[in-house]
Amino acid sequence: MISKLKRTCAEAAAIAVVSAATSLGSQPGQAHERESAKPVFEHALPNVPGKSLIAVVVRYAPGGKSPAHHHAGSAFIYAYVLTGEVRSRVGDEPAKVYRAGESFFEEPGAHHRMSENASESEPASLLAVFIVDGQDRPLTVPDPDAARP
């Protein structure tokens, strides 16, 4: 009797572990990946002393997102959606979905409240072009209370 009880408990525990592992998988609507950002170009602007132009490709997996953040204080940013659809909310403006070929900008000191892939099934990417004081780093600072996906 005790042996049968132990086996039943062991089976129940195994089912619970498998169920938990399955629920942590990469199913749509589950845990979302962070974005990846890769600098692809940087150069001092010869006709604007002290300023640099930096280009960064940001890639979002399906359902991927960035935590709310600010950029370097001197940064003016032009963002161009390369692939997919990106949902963005800057400052107090409403969230908007930008599709491949569309663009938006951020003024210096803007609060980027939302930046995420608008799709749960397709990847998305954008090119972020920063015009920034040459030594103003880091380029992106997550909000202190931003939840990590």
CB 37 within 8 Å of CB 5? no
pLDDT of the residue at 149: 46
How far CA 122 is from CA of 9, 33, 88, in Å, comes to: 41, 13, 17
Summarised one tens digit per residue, pLDDT across range 29-66 is: 444 688 899 999 999 999 999 999 999 999 999 999 99
pLDDT of the residue at 98: 98
Summarised one tens digit per residue, pLDDT across range 105-114 is: 999 999 999 9
Lowest-confidence pick of 7-16, 50-59, 86-95: 7-16
pLDDT of the residue at 115: 96
Any idea how long the chain is?
149
Q: Taking residues 75-100, what's their average pLDDT?
A: 97
